[in-house]
Amino acid sequence: MIPTTERVASLGLDEFRRHLPYALRGLDYRWIGEHVVVAAAGGTVTITVEALAPLALSGVLSLPRLRVSFAFSGGTAAEQAAFLAAYDRAFQRGGG
């Protein structure tokens, strides 16, 4: 079983809420406060979203940031890894 894991994302909560359905690929989910409970990966996944201080790149440019934590209950390590891989693909951004 994969322990609780987290990601730091450069996006705001509204943007996270808009993109989340793409990451979940039609899975059932519900928001409870700052948590999202998803029926997936052979059990449930609780996603916790926490706003972080913006990343200041210069005096005029800063990026919003979120800490996104995943806690799995049930499912195999392979199912959990597949869930995280789908999440990462949905929130991946090109850089350069």
- For the segment 32-50, the average pLDDT, to the nearest whole number, is 91
Encode pLDDT of 58-84 as tens digits: 888 999 999 999 999 988 989 999 999
Which domains are present in the chain?
Answer: 5-91 (3.30.310.80)
Q: Which residues pair with 50 in a beta bridge?
A: 67
Sequence-ordered list of residues with C-beta below 8 angstroms from that of 88, at least 6 positions apart, any chain: 7
What's the full length of the chain, in residues?
96
CA distances to 10, 44, 95 from 41, rounded to whole Å, are: 25, 7, 30
pLDDT computed for residue 2 by the predictor:
62
Residue 95, pLDDT > 80, answer: no
* Helix, strand, coil percent content, the chain, rounded in steps of 5: 30, 45, 30
Joined together, the tokens standing for residue 8 give 């730091």
Sheet holding 5-9, edge to edge: 5-9, 62-74, 43-56, 35-40, 29-32
